Amino acid sequence: MPDKHYDFCCRKTSENRGQRIEDREQRTKNRSPKLLLLFCISAAMLAGLTASPLRAQPPLTFLHTRGQDIVDDSDKKVFLRGVGLGNWLLPEGYMWKFGDGGDRPRRIEHIVADLIGPDQAKWFWTEYRSNYITESDIQRIAELGYNSVRPALNSRLFLSETEPPQRVEEGFILLDHLVAWCKAHGVYVILDMHAAPGGQTGQNIDDSANDQPELFQQAKFQERLVELWKQIARRYKEEPTVAGYDLLNEPLPERTGAAKAHKTKLEPLYRRLTRAIREIDSRHMIIVEGADWANDWSVFSKPFDKNLVYQFHYYCWDDPATLKDVQKYLDYRNRFNAPVWVGETGERDDALYWATTEYFEANNIGWSFWPWKKMDTQNTPYSIKPPASWNQVAAYSRNGHKPSPELSREALDQFLRNIRLENCVFFPDVVNSMLRLAPGRIQAENFGHDGAGKSYQVKDPARRSAFYRPSEPVPVSTSKTTGRRQSSQYITLSATEWTAYAITSRTPKSYDVSLRAKAGSASAEIQLTIGEHTRCITLSSKGWSDINIGTFALLQGPNRIKLEVKSGTADLDWLDVNPAKQSQQSAGVEPATRVR
């Protein structure tokens, strides 16, 4: 390996998920004493589940399907809202700010070993896996209101790539810890085979060795996958905290030719895996994803198990943003009479998070947000602060100059500290957008999904919006005001037209409500209603204005907000709902003030 430059001779895959996300975000030998100390700490963690006591929660029960719903043992419906634990057991280069030379686990491991030596690299990875996800993460996930996690598994942590393959205990021990923490905090676990033996996609996300979906090319890899799922089933067959087995993540992309060549093999493999699991475990749900990033369900014939969940992934990377129609999945759901679940969504902004999760829930679709945390971002619940010299380490993954061992050790040492939850940066607006909680910003185009007369009323129901929600009649236009919280769309309403929104308050509380709007005619009168309280404002300016409407008392739970244009035409951008500066809960609403 050259001293100054790193050359992996790797093929550029600019269309992979990491590159797409990175492009979007750019637009908006000596064992280090510290590393050795941290290894000792991690070894202690591996010896026991946790140093802190696990707090008892009401016991979780096994989940199973009942028609199109997921229910518990008491037949009560369970709606899975969760987060994906990416970058933990399967590091992804884009979450490290790495380039193609470090776009997948084996390449990241190669870089780390080259920078600090194989011995220190071994300690680094032990510490990394012990600290990236801890009980603190699971406790926080539960506190925020999520009820499930989807850890991305790399088969190499459970089954070696040697001939013959050997069982690897490290992965099982880490997974045992996760399940114990989730059990203690009332959080379900969906086991996601993100990187199968040989690779199911031939892309960076499955840790492919040769950029080929070798799982479908060599029989030995399918044998290994069958054996791995059998080992997992034996270990967790009596554990209700495990909600289900997600057999393969995002198999066989279309654009590489993998789907065309192999997708007829996908359902037979799912059937084979399910038979092997059912010989051991008859209770856990089996979760299957379509071909082409989970979204091509033409590979499915009919349900082959009585406890089967179908999964698709939902990312809105279009610009201007568009809420992609989910009707085809609803049609499959009706045909199969089985639950549908979104295993991944996210990687965009608050406006889309609000819209997509509300859209899913209006259609009885559970979801898991991807991911819980990553480096130097503002669009996940938590962000990892990059170490001071991280740019030099990251540059090496792009064929840049090789940093010194001293700099590399210091950067990686700081990285190990930064990945712990208590050292990460929290973005409450991201969580509130996903869960539609106050305080929050409601984009005007994110009215409800209950149809005419409930979520909106317009004069021309046959009209269709040109942007964002093309199947609905409320006109959405684009603007130049963009950012993490501010979308590039707004709606236009004329007299007697209205839209309705829902926002949830965790407690009874007063909130200041403001509106960004402008008159589309000489003047416009707008009426805002929350519960039984109404405010009216008059717009006479055609420029955008941020209007303080007043203070409203929100009830605990969901609250309905209605925006109606009483006269004229108005362009509406967003509503802000923030904690009241002066609480007047008994009054319900502040005195009205007309805005001109």
pLDDT in tens, 530-542: 999 999 999 987 7
pLDDT at 481: 54
| pLDDT tens, residue by residue, 232-276 | 999 999 999 999 999 999 999 999 999 999 999 999 999 999 999
Range with lowest mean pLDDT among 109-123, 150-164, 347-361, 581-595: 581-595
Domain 91-433, CATH among 3.40.50.300, 3.20.20.80, 3.30.499.10, 3.40.630.30: 3.20.20.80
The pLDDT-based confidence of 5 (bands split at 50, 70, 90) is: very low
Return d(Cα 365, Cα 363) in angstroms, integer. Answer: 6
The torsion defined by the Cα of 389, 390, 391 and 397, in degrees rounded to 10, comes to 130
Partner residues linked to 191 by β-bridges? 245
pLDDT at 7: 28
Token pair listed for 422 = 């208590």
pTM over 0.95: no
Report pLDDT digits (tens) over 443-464. 999 999 999 999 999 999 999 9
Contact 435, 81 (CB under 8 A): yes
* Mean pLDDT value of segment 576-595: 56
- Residue 36, pLDDT above cutoff 90: no
Q: So what's the pLDDT on residue 27?
A: 42
Alpha-carbon distance of 442 to 512, in angstroms, equals 13
Rounded to the nearest integer, the mean pLDDT of the chain is: 90
Task: Tell me which residue of 159, 233, 238, 249 sits closest to 195, measured CA to CA.
Answer: 249
pLDDT of 15 strictly over 50: no
Nearest-angstrom CA–CA distance, 32 and 410:
9
Q: How confident is the model at residue 295 (pLDDT cuts 50, 70, 90)?
A: very high
Confidence label for 6 from pLDDT (cuts 50, 70 and 90) = very low
Q: Is pLDDT of 4 > 90?
A: no
Residues of the chain with pLDDT > 90, as a percent, come to 84
pLDDT band at 8 (very low <50, low <70, confident <90, very high): very low
C-alpha–C-alpha distance, residues 377 and 372, integer Å: 11
Superfamily of domain 437-579: Galactose-binding domain-like (2.60.120.260)
CA 456, 462, 467 angle in degrees (round to 5)? 70
Q: Percent of the chain scored above 70 by pLDDT?
A: 87
* 15-29, 59-73, 189-203, 480-494, range with the lowest pLDDT: 15-29
Distance CA 128, CA 132 (A): 6
What pLDDT is attached to residue 542? Answer: 76
DSSP-based three-state secondary structure for 4: coil
pLDDT at 522 (0 to 100): 86
Helix (H, G, I), strand (E, B) or coil at 101: helix
Helix (H, G, I), strand (E, B) or coil at 360: helix
Pairwise CA distance, residues 311 & 305, whole Å? 15
Question: 3-class DSSP state for residue 462?
Answer: coil
CATH fold match for the domains 91-433 and 437-579: no
476 has which bridge partners? 491
Instruction: Tell me the pLDDT tens digit for each residue of 123-175.
Output: 999 999 999 999 999 999 999 999 999 999 999 999 999 999 999 999 999 99
Query: Are 349 and 316 in contact, with CB atoms under 8 Å apart?
Result: no
Predicted local distance difference test score (pLDDT) of residue 575: 98
Which alpha helices (H) appear in 279-388, and where do they start and end? 327-336, 350-362
- pLDDT(34) > 70: no
Q: Which helix (H) or strand (E) holds 526?
A: strand 524-530
Among 447, 428, 444, 452, which residue's Cα sits nearest to residue 579? 428
In the chain, where are the structural domains located? 91-433, 437-579
